[in-house]
Amino acid sequence: MIRGDFNYIIGITQGCQPVGDPLVITKCENNIIIELDNKPAYEVLKGHVPQTILENPNDLIRTLFIGFSPDPEGREIVGRDYLIRNILGIDPETGIICVAQNVRDGQTITFAIRNPQMAREDLKQMLERIKSSTNPEKPFKFGLYFNCCARGSSLYAQKGIDMAYISHYLEDVPIIGFFGNSEFANLHGKNHLFTYTGVLALISE
């Protein structure tokens, strides 16, 4: 909806960070993961997640997620390029994990944890990358920031953390935006639905 001759940079900051090595779905049905690396999915989960999270079922669902590759083939997860989806349920007896996305055999996933310190660090790294690539002859005129509602005080235990970092790095660049339930952004030339992220679009001449 913004028209005219302008340049832009889009930064994506993740609120969840992978734990352990990527895993391959070897048996599944619809949105239910039955096996990972030919083992019951829940048994594999227990080997990747800190014991303190496993001890409390509420913490498990609130802080543990699954990361998917943005690649349609879903064969590889590289660096920070992943899409976070909620775990809807776990059955320790059968070993299955139910996730908020249909899955298929051969797809690569990673377990991920929502952590305030990790979220701050990822935001700082994203802002440092943007600042280092800024053309001083074409400064940013304004920015748009779309933030997941799960990245507010419920994550950091205080308000305004993300905007405080953005204001510190970008100084007097005016920023507008809002909280939402999910975010859209371009990754590898294709738009994706993100969750637990912040998406920053900066506009220059």
Q: How confident is the model at residue 174 (pLDDT cuts 50, 70, 90)?
A: very high
Three-class SS of the chain:
CCCCCCEEEEEEEECEEEEEEEEEEEEEECCEEEEECCEEHHHHHHHHCCHHHHCCHHHHHHHEEEEECCCCCCCCCECCECEEEEEEEEECCCCEEEECCCCCCCCEEEEEEECHHHHHHHHHHHHHHHHHCCCCCCCEEEEEEEEEHHHCHHHHCCCCHHHHHHHHHHCCCCEEEEEECCEEEEECCEEEEECCEEEEEEEEC
Is the pLDDT reported for residue 47 higher than 80?
Answer: yes
User: What does the pLDDT read at residue 193?
Assistant: 94
Which pTM was predicted? 0.86
Q: What is the pLDDT of residue 64?
A: 92
154-173 pLDDT per residue, tens: 889 999 999 999 999 998 89
pLDDT band at 51 (very low <50, low <70, confident <90, very high): confident
On whether the 17-113 domain is CATH 2.40.30, my answer is: yes
- Domain definitions of the chain by residue range: 7-14+116-204, 17-113
Joined tokens for residue 188:
């590898």
What is the pLDDT, as a whole number, of residue 2?
Answer: 78
Query: What's the whole-number mean pLDDT along residues 180-201?
Result: 92
* CATH number for the domain running over 7-14+116-204: 3.30.1330.40
Which among 84, 83, 19 has a CA at the least distance from the CA of 45?
A: 19
If you average pLDDT over residues 23-52, what whole number do you get? 93
| Two structure tokens written together for 154 | 């419920």
Give pLDDT tens digits for 136-153.
888 999 999 999 999 988
Q: What is the mean pLDDT of residues 83-90?
A: 93
| Residues 41/33, Cβ–Cβ less than 8 Å | yes
Choose between 98 and 57: higher pLDDT.
98
Q: How far apart are CA 32 and CA 79, in angstroms?
A: 25
Q: Is 71 exposed, middle or buried (CB count within 10 Å of its CB: 0-12, 13-18, 19+)?
A: middle
To the nearest whole number, what is the mean pLDDT of the chain?
90
100/95 Cα distance (integer angstroms): 17
Q: Tell me, what's the pLDDT at 134?
A: 82
The answer to whether domain 7-14+116-204 and domain 17-113 are alike in fold is no
Please name which of 15, 4, 19 lies closest in space to residue 146, comparing C-alpha atoms: 15
